[in-house]
């Protein structure tokens, strides 16, 4: 079913609206990932000043886009479908150019290498400010060097480059972005939406979990950089030691079969479960006793923010923006990425000590409230847009 905005934008002229239009543009497959939580949540926090549209390029017929559409409806985000058949599909360019003209886009906000390249191209035919957010280069494929090269070309030509973690800020500067065009705006969390208050949901989801058994949760795309294989091996070692827990891994991706093979080889299908995509994530966090981030590469993962906001004690790898968010031993535990021994030891400690879990959970919530609220993040983002429209000459 088409969204209200998709119907509206098929008309030749849009409604008169005094607010400047910001177009967030992203390439996505399947149900998306962490950046979508930021992008699709943004419009309602900027509505008093800006009119946000979210244009998503995606493979035609990808069923995951319907999942994104449901998220957009939930978060009141105007979502536009831009079918994309690959690098030779030049209709993507004309569709986005027509959209910019029709909606009188004032700011193009890219979120990946392709939207950054398209912004530079379309900006030659429609006058608009150029901003981008660097969420992190994490998934390595044979095309990754090409994507990096495209971004290294594009980023220095953008008027504002937003990085979600200090390491990405430094990487952007190393790519040639002028320091006065770089800004650090870390991810945030809606502390009203992510607030622990769902005891009935916890009880229902844990109905098959024996009394006294703990639940370890992990969330993310099932891909190599998430390190779920390390988590599975660590969990297997602790189960062999006699600890009573099970692991729920939420997400979809191309590593499902290899992960299933590891689980089967260790005969842990009754204790380590791949749950696939879930729409009830807030409820699932309530059902978890521990949250583990085992990633090898990240920016600043939204899932860690969500777990902390919902008072789930966190064990995470020491990567990118995570050490800035999590203070080891205070509001979470940190381990070296890819180190199975450290992950096993950290998980053993947090599972074996209820006092540690309670202390970390309470401190994690305070950290989110004090430093990582989504409203505060969007105030910073609005200031970037205000400055672009007020002071920046057209590149």
pLDDT digits (tens, 9 = 90+) for 12-21: 445 578 999 9
Mean pLDDT, residues 167-179: 93
Mean pLDDT, residues 62-72: 89
**CA-based angle 174:176:182, to the nearest 5?**
85
User: What strand order describes the sheet that includes 160-163?
Assistant: 79-83, 51-58, 21-27, 105-110, 129-134, 160-163, 182-184
Instruction: Name every residue whose Cβ is closer than 8 Å to that of residue 45 and which is 6 or more positions away in sequence.
Output: 374, 375, 378
Which regions of the chain carry the CATH code 3.40.50.2000? 4-188+374-391, 199-371
**Residue 261, pLDDT above cutoff 90:** yes
pLDDT of 100 reads: 97
Question: pLDDT-based confidence at 1, cuts 50/70/90?
Answer: very low
Where is average pLDDT lowest: 90-94, 156-160, 389-393?
389-393
Instruction: Name every residue whose Cβ is closer than 8 Å to that of residue 293 and which is 6 or more positions away in sequence.
Output: 218, 220, 301, 303, 304, 314, 315, 316, 317, 322
pLDDT of 202 reads: 75
Mean pLDDT, residues 289-298: 94
Rounded distance between C-alpha atoms, residue 277 and residue 11, angstroms: 35
pLDDT of 11 reads: 39
Mean pLDDT, residues 88-97: 93
Q: Which carries the bigger pLDDT value, residue 248 or residue 199?
A: 248
pLDDT of 199 reads: 64
pLDDT of 149 reads: 87
Question: In the block, which residue shows the tokens 């906000």?
Answer: 109
Question: pLDDT-based confidence at 32, cuts 50/70/90?
Answer: confident
Question: In the block, which residue shows the tokens 């967030």?
Answer: 24
| Rg of the chain on CA atoms, in Å | 21
Under DSSP, is residue 349 helix (H, G, I), strand (E, B) or coil? helix
Q: Which CATH architecture group holds 4-188+374-391?
A: 3-Layer(aba) Sandwich (3.40)
Mean pLDDT, residues 288-317: 94
State in Å, rounded, how far the first CA of the chain is from the last one.
39
**To the nearest whole number, what is the mean pLDDT of the chain?**
90
- The CATH number given to 199-371 is 3.40.50.2000
Q: What percent of the chain has pLDDT over 70?
A: 92
Q: Which carries the bigger pLDDT value, residue 157 or residue 62?
A: 157
Where is average pLDDT lowest: 60-64, 134-138, 205-209, 324-328?
134-138
pLDDT of 139 reads: 54
pLDDT of 8 reads: 37
> Are the C-beta atoms of residues 215 and 209 closer than 8 Å to each other?
yes
Residue-wise burial string across 119-134, b where 16 or more C-beta atoms lie within 10 A, e elsewhere: bbebbeeeebbbbbbb
pLDDT of 232 reads: 98
**Residue 395, pLDDT above cutoff 70:** no
pLDDT of 37 reads: 87
Where is average pLDDT lowest: 29-38, 56-65, 277-286, 291-300?
29-38
> Are the C-beta atoms of residues 251 and 277 closer than 8 Å to each other?
yes
DSSP class of residue 20 equals P
Strand locations in the chain (E)? 21-27, 51-58, 79-83, 105-110, 129-134, 160-163, 182-184, 214-219, 245-250, 272-276, 290-293, 314-317, 333-335
- How far apart, in Å, are the Cα atoms of 246 and each of 44, 224, 241, 315, 354? 37, 22, 13, 15, 16
pLDDT of 87 reads: 82
Q: Which carries the bigger pLDDT value, residue 288 or residue 393?
A: 288
**Residue 63, pLDDT above cutoff 60:** yes
């Amino acid at each position: 079913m088409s969204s209200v905005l998709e119907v509206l934008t098929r008309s030749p002229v849009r409604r008169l609206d005094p607010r400047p239009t910001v177009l967030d543009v992203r390439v996505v497959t399947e149900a998306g990932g962490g950046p979508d939580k930021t992008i699709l949540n943004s419009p309602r926090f900027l509505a008093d000043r800006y009119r946000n549209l979210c244009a998503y390029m995606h493979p035609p017929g990808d069923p995951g886009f319907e999942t994104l559409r449901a998220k957009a409806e939930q978060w009141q985000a105007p979502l536009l479908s831009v079918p994309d058949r690959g690098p030779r599909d030049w209709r993507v360019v004309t569709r986005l150019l027509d959209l910019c003209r029709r909606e009188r886009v004032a700011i193009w906000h890219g979120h990946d290498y392709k939207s950054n390249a398209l912004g530079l191209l379309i900006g030659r035919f429609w006058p608009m400010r150029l901003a981008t957010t660097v969420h992190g280069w994490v998934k390595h494929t044979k095309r990754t060097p090409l994507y990096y090269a495209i971004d290294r070309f594009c980023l220095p030509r953008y008027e504002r480059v937003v990085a979600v973690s200090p390491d990405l800020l430094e990487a952007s500067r190393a790519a040639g972005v002028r320091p006065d065009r770089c800004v650090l705006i870390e991810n945030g969390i809606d502390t009203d939406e992510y607030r622990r208050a769902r005891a009935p949901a916890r009880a229902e989801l844990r109905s098959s979990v024996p009394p006294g058994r703990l639940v370890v949760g992990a969330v993310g795309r099932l891909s190599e950089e998430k390190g779920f294989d390390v988590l599975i091996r660590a969990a297997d070692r602790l189960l062999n030691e006699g600890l009573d827990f099970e692991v729920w891994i939420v997400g979809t991706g191309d590593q499902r079969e290899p992960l299933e093979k590891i689980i089967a080889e260790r005969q842990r299908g009754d204790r380590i479960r791949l749950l696939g995509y879930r729409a009830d994530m807030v409820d699932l966090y309530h059902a978890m006793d521990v949250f583990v981030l085992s990633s090898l590469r990240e920016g600043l993962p939204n899932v860690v923010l969500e777990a902390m906001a919902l008072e789930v004690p966190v064990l995470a790898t020491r990567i990118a923006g995570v050490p800035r968010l999590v203070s080891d031993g205070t509001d979470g535990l940190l381990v070296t990425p890819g180190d199975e021994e450290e992950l096993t030891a950290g998980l053993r400690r947090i599972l074996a000590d209820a006092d540690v879990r309670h202390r970390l959970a309470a401190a994690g919530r305070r950290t989110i409230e004090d430093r990582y609220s989504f409203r505060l993040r969007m105030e910073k983002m609005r200031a970037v847009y205000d400055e672009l429209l007020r002071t920046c000459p057209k590149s």
